[in-house]
Structure 1
Amino acid sequence: MQVNIPKRAFNTVYLPLLDDEQHRYIVLYGGAGSGKSVFAAQRLIVRMMSKPLCNILVVRKVGDTNRTSTYALLRQVITRWGLYGLFDVTDLRIVCRATGNECIFKGLDDPEKIKSVTFAKGELTDIWIEEASEIEEADFNQLDIRLRGRGIHGQITLSFNPVNILHWLKRRFFDRKDGRAVTLKTTYRDNAFLDEDYKRTLEGYKTTDPYYYEVYCLGQWGVIGRTIFDARAVNRRLRELRPAEKRGYFAYDTFYDPVYNEVRIQDGTIRWVEAEDGYISIYEDRRAGVPYVIGGDTAGEGSDWFAGQVLDNTTGRQVCTLRQQFDEDLYAKQLYCLGRYYNDALVAVEANFSSYPIKELQRLRYPRQYVRTAEDSYTRRPMERYGFKTTSVTRPVIIAGLVEIVRESVELLHDADTLGEMLTFVRNEKGRAEAEEGAHDDCVMALAIAYYARTQQSTAADKPRGVRAEWTEDMYEDYWNADEDGQAYLIQKWGDPF
């Protein structure tokens, strides 16, 4: 049948998706009051009237909640558009008289009812999952399989608030690209029909509960627990991030040393290999004469990632990250190359789970490793050892230091994986700061170690005779905003660029 619903009946931001037939998955997410559920209902009503075959299953985690949410919304759309004479609306079933298309409502709390869904005319073509963050991925997979009818181009619409950064929805539709999916994020600011009083209520959370405002009102990915880091600052920084300058890994040639009867890396052959799927991300390339620090966190019992964080020690900026699951010897070799690349950076690797990477760096003759003071197990005398040891004493100290960095200078951080881990780094029931269950903390711990190790590295760039120091735009801005004494200090710290 001919459908003539005026465009002004829809929020403008959603119009590109109204007639979408290219994608299997329509993912509507964002903050409260954005109108995403209303649009999902509007779109389904249009499809029921305009398509010769469009049978819809609307689901929620609990079936009874449909009555006061999805079912009520579709009825509301029919009434507002003056279409009640075109539809038969009975208990949790809506039928378009002109096309015979049906819409029924079920809950995933009764799988047998989902399996028994049938339509008077044709097969299931469309599914709307409201509050999709409430369901399990296995439930979604079962629904996805239901759309394998002959000759049918099925579509699944998902609508939800992204309140948990660990959710399977993020992994499936955002962390990886699926050409069959289109995603649209909206907030209350996109809803032209929103009640002004409700809008003022949402705006009020800016001051009363900033974290709630970021996650529930602006639709930022959040956490179930409260992170120990400034979540508002982290979310803001995530929105500001730019892509890495380079992504790849290091390749190298080896040589046999007959004196020590071992194979080592030949320094002159270390080279960067550009690769989209590389595990090293460079945000700021090395600068001549600048001192760098690398913090390393090793995988624990093979369940976590090997991580490395590179800091420009003159500014404290995060300039490069390494994150990968591979063997310890390969990790050590990549750290070796990374350190040599960044002007023989000071390397501080955690020594808790395994000392192999530290010993491998020694064997490869790496020139600069972090040194800690340890007690000799036999003489009980203090002695110097390579690597950083995380203990009940040092762990709170390095985490507290990183918390301060995030609170005061979050603009120093450039890596999305690191910032994402911060959102899931919470305090458990015993008060210990750690990654939330199912999350990782490798990037966070490597970064915390790097900042702590800075004291063993120079904070001033070397300036070769007759060569100017290289400053970034931010460094020049800090210089011109400083007084005379401050300018002299910055030149001493960063080198003379003039």
Structure 2
Amino acid sequence: MTALDIPTARVFEPLLAPSRYKGAYGGRGSGKSHFFGENIVEEHLSIPGHRTVCIREVQKSIERSSKQLIVDKINKFGLNSLFDVQDQLIKTPGDGLIIFQGMQNHTADSIKSLEGFDRAWIEEAQSISAYSWRMLRPTMRKAGSEIWASWNPASPEDPIDDFFRGPGSDRADLVAVRANWSDNPWFNDGTLPTERVEDLRARPDEYGHIWEGDYVTISDAIIFRNRVSVEDFRSPEEARFYYGVDWGFAKDPTAAVRCFIQDECLFIDYEAGGVGVELDDTPALLEEIPGAYRWPWKADGARPETISFLANRFGFKISAAEKWPGSVEDGVARLKAFKKIIVHPRCKGIAEEFRKYSYKVDKKTEDILPVIADAWNHYIDALRYALDGVIQNRRRMPKFTQQTVQRIARQ
């Protein structure tokens, strides 16, 4: 028996215990494939006769499989003498076997050959079809067999995503974890950090799906598409800062932001937030933003008692932002009127919301509707409140004096 020392990211710890279904989903650089590849090698080293099938929906050649990843792990651990790597398969200690298959290449009858296998690992599982998933699950019937899946989510309607994250995913024999680059302790060992930062800067519409494991969205529905960039900058001392806060309810976060306007661009340099923030903890949350006591705040007026508490008990210069029918739409229009919106990298909450804040989309026709979805809007609401006064009510009727009425009558 050869002992292996395999460092494992903490995010994958729930997947180490036995379970019929194990899933890991998220963006690029998380180490999902490396985790499962290392587990396959470890199991085949310690369990004689172990059999694993590595699956993709479409596998036109062995080069397009996960074989090379597993071979790399075998080489990394110095196990070349114990594993017989062949063209189409890998023979493992104790007459074990690792094979590689594309589900589209097999019929229901041919897939029955997997009945005696111990593990099935589906890589790029977001592409697995409903038919393939229905075939595979009952085929893996050996006692103690497990089905593993790793994927970058594309849509909640994908069969694998619906199974692991949709209704019914609370079953006792299923465990799934979300893993992203930020969960990978070894992420900085290479070129990926530069790639991620460049995507965040230059391709924010794609960034959420590629790096954070977000679903693919219809980019035209993203309200601030191509209008927001995440860049490092230094806030000028002479700036006129605007502060805003949106109160949390239930699972919605309390969200606070600070911003300033310069050269017709909007800069967002600080944020603070949290879910389940109690009233007594709110002052400390707002204090995370520099200058919180010196500058005026604008807040959601739905909680006047909170505004009063902060003003009278703690001395915050805080008042309710004005609201009117259509104030959300007016706020969006004013924000889009800036030449550019620049978000500091430390403001991760509002950067994420800008990537996801969108108009509703008809699921059947994919038509983009003129209705703003009530989601991913807490920090953005705080930003609208902060700019109270800068954002104007475009629906307010003009005030008429007796002189203007007479002038209009003469025309």
TM-score (norm: length of structure 1)? 0.48
Provide closer, same or farther for how the CA distance between residues 65 and 56 of structure 1 changes in structure 2, counting only shifts above 3 A: same
- The equivalent residue for 1:104 is 99
Work out which of the residue numbers 30, 54, 67 in structure 1 matches 2:26: 30
Query: Contact 2:224 / 2:354 at 8 angstroms: preserved in 1?
Result: no
- Give, in angstroms, the shift of residue 104 of structure 1: 0.8
- Give a deviation string over 1:211-237, Cα, whole Å, max 9, x none: 222220122223255424237999x9x
User: Which entry has the higher C-alpha Rg, 1 or 2?
Assistant: 1
Secondary structure of residue in 2 paired with 1:214: helix
Change (3 A) 1:143 1:13: same
Deviation at 1:166, TM superposition (A): 4.2
Distance of aligned partners of 1:214 and 1:18 in 2 relative to their CA distance in 1, 3 Å threshold: closer
Change (3 A) 1:68 1:111: closer
Q: Does the 8 Å CA contact 2:181/2:187 hold for their aligned counterparts?
A: no
Q: How does 1:288-327 map to 2 (within 5 A)?
A: none
Aligned equivalent of 1:207: 201
1:244 aligns with 2:215: no
Q: Deviations over 1:176-235 (max 9, x none)?
A: 33232222222233150654323212211121111222220122223255424237999x
Letter in 2 for 1:201: E
User: What residue is the counterpart of 2:362 in the other structure?
Assistant: 435
Structure 1 regions of 5+ residues with no counterpart? 247-283, 290-312, 318-345, 347-396, 409-417, 426-433, 449-473, 487-498
Q: Distance in 2 between matches of 1:103 and 1:208?
A: 41
Which secondary structure does the structure 2 equivalent of 1:105 belong to? strand
Deviates more, 1:85-94 or 1:60-69: 60-69
Corresponding residue for residue 44 of structure 1: 40
Post-superposition CA distance 1:98-124 (Å, at most 9, x none): 3x22111111221228734637xx811
What does 1:260-299 align with in structure 2 at a 5 Å threshold? none
CA distance 1:154–1:402, change in 2 (3 Å): farther
1:16 is aligned, of 10, 13, 16, to 13
**Any idea what SS the aligned residue of 1:170 has?**
helix
Matched with 2:59 is: 63
| Inter-partner Cα distance in structure 1 for 2:247 and 2:112 | 46
Q: Residue 85 of structure 1 aligns with which residue?
A: 81
CA distance in 1, matches of 2:223, 2:372: 13
Alignment RMSD (CA, Å): 4.7
Correspondences of 1:191-202 after superposition (within 5 Å):
191-192=185-186, 195-202=189-196
In structure 2, distance between residues paired with 1:226 and 1:446: 14
Question: What is the CA distance between 1:25 and its match in structure 2?
Answer: 1.6
Q: Which residue of the partner structure matches residue 162 of structure 1?
A: 153
Structure 1 residues 400 and 314, CA gap change in structure 2 (3 angstroms): closer
The 3-state SS of whatever aligns with 2:209 is helix
From 130, 138, 141, the equivalent of 1:145 is 138
1:420-475 residue CA offsets vs partner (Å, 9 max, x unmatched):
996584xxxxxxxx424477989957869xxxxxxxxxxxxxxxxxxxxxxxxx89
Counting matched residue pairs gives: 289
Cα shift at 1:173: 2.1
- Once the two structures are superposed, residues 266-303 of structure 1 have per-residue CA deviations (whole angstroms, 9 ceiling, x without a partner) of xxxxxxxxxxxxxxxxxx998799xxxxxxxxxxxxxx
Q: Work out whether 1:223 is the aligned partner of 2:217.
A: yes
Aligned partner of 1:5: which letter? Answer: L
Q: Does residue 133 of structure 1 match 2:126?
A: yes
State how far apart, in whole Å, the 2-side matches of 1:71 and 1:63 are: 11
Amino acid at match of 1:6: D
Partner in structure 2 of residue 255 of structure 1: none
Q: Distance in 1 between matches of 2:62 and 2:200?
A: 31
How far does residue 92 in structure 1 lie from its aligned partner after superposition?
A: 2.1
The yes-or-no answer on 1:175 pairing with 2:203 is: no
Distance 1:16 1:90, change over 3 A: same
**Cα distance in 2, alignment partners of residues 104 and 94 from structure 1:** 7
Partner of 1:85, secondary structure, is: coil
Shift of 1:167: 3.0
8 Å Cα contact 2:55/2:120 also seen in 1: yes
CA–CA distance in structure 1, aligned partners of residues 97 and 335 of structure 2: 52
What is the alpha-carbon distance in structure 2 between the residues aligned to residue 185 and residue 241 of structure 1?
27
Structure 1 153/435 Cα, relative in aligned 2: closer, same or farther at 3 Å? same
Equivalent residues of 1:31, 1:215 under 8 A apart:
yes
User: Helix, strand or coil for the counterpart of 1:199?
Assistant: helix
Instruction: Give unpaired runs (5+ residues) of structure 2.
Output: 231-245, 253-299, 306-319, 339-352, 376-381, 391-411
